[in-house]
Structure 1
Amino acid sequence: MSIQVAESDSQILECFSVLSQLRPHIKQESFLEQVRRQQQNGHRMIYLEENHQAKAVAIFCISENFACGLFLHVYDLVVDATVRSQGYGHHIFEWLVNYAKLHGCKELSLDSGVQRFDAHRFYIRHQMNISGHHFSLPL
């Protein structure tokens, strides 16, 4: 088992089948192009690989604001549905925490859909606090 930054086209494409479980609206034909655009804005994709297959994927970015200072925000965190509750989520979450600390971040944050009860239990087990509500306005 290893956790790697997805940098090559083949590494990025390997992550599609896992990430699309969380984001079913994404299309494989435009996936690589969108990841490359997001990378230009500072986003990074990591994946946990075992037996040459992605088992978990996360997309994150380090940012800074007045509310938090320097922080790592996780935009996407998903474990393949066929292997959940086997520790993969824990390993990728710990990697993110360590990466944030290594880069001087004071906080790790993420948003989670209100319907994702299993994910909420996972985050609470990992000592995350529910610190606010995220509001959105479709345009």
Structure 2
Amino acid sequence: MEIKELTNREEWKSAFPVMKQLRVHLDEEHYLQLVEEAARSANYKMFAVYEGGKIVAVTGFMPMMTLYNGRFIWVCDLVTDAACRSKGYGARLIGYVEQWAKEKGYGIVSLSSGLQRKDAHRFYEEKMDYDKVSYVFLKRL
């Protein structure tokens, strides 16, 4: 198993089949446009877990700063290929993000998870020791 940063359009494209399992509303071109813009304007980072040369899990995150959290990492995306779940890939990947954050001087890793994603909530709270500290509110304009 290897964890590698994905830094260009070709690498981001290779992660799309796994990312699409989380971001089902995106087609490949729109996904690539969003990743390119986020990487350029918001320092979005993408990392993937490779097993046997194949991507089995992907995460995307952004270093951020707010008055509430100070300097922190916001995990935008975290998904393991459906055929590879419950093998520890997600835990290894979020652990990698946490270590990356510590090494870069960030004291918090934060994320949001859709209300319907009960398995993900159990994973974050029970396996990864994350605390549920707020609700995220959204208004589409």
Residue of structure 1 equivalent to 2:109: 108
User: What does 1:12-91 align with in structure 2 at a 5 Å threshold?
Assistant: 12-40=12-40, 41-91=42-92
Amino acid at match of 1:5: E
Provide TM-score, normalisation by structure 2. Answer: 0.95
Amino acid at match of 1:49: Y
Amino acid at match of 1:126: M
Which aligned segments of 4 or more residues in structure 1 are displaced greater than 4 angstroms? Answer: none
CA–CA distance in 2 between the matches of 1:102 and 1:86?
26
CA–CA distance in 1 between the matches of 2:90 and 2:31?
23
The range that moved more, 22-31 or 76-85, is 22-31
Check the 8 A contact 1:5/1:47 in 2, yes or no.
Answer: yes
- Runs of 5+ consecutive residues of structure 1 not aligned to the other structure: none
The C-alpha deviation readout for 1:14-52, integer Å capped at 9, x for no partner, is: 110000000111111333222111101211111111112
Q: Secondary structure at the match of 1:21?
A: coil
Residue of structure 2 equivalent to 1:122: 123
Residue of structure 2 equivalent to 1:135: 137
What's the CA shift for 1:63? 0.7
The range that moved more, 3-12 or 66-75, is 3-12
Check the 8 A contact 2:9/2:36 in 1, yes or no.
Answer: no
The C-alpha deviation readout for 1:35-94, integer Å capped at 9, x for no partner, is: 111101211111111112110000100111111111001000000001100010111011
CA RMSD of aligned residues (A): 0.9
Aligned residues: 139
CA–CA distance in 1 between the matches of 2:43 and 2:52?
29
Q: Secondary structure at the match of 1:15?
A: helix
Q: Secondary structure at the match of 2:138?
A: coil
Q: Secondary structure at the match of 2:109?
A: strand
CA–CA distance in 2 between the matches of 1:14 and 1:50?
14
- Runs of 5+ consecutive residues of structure 2 not aligned to the other structure: none
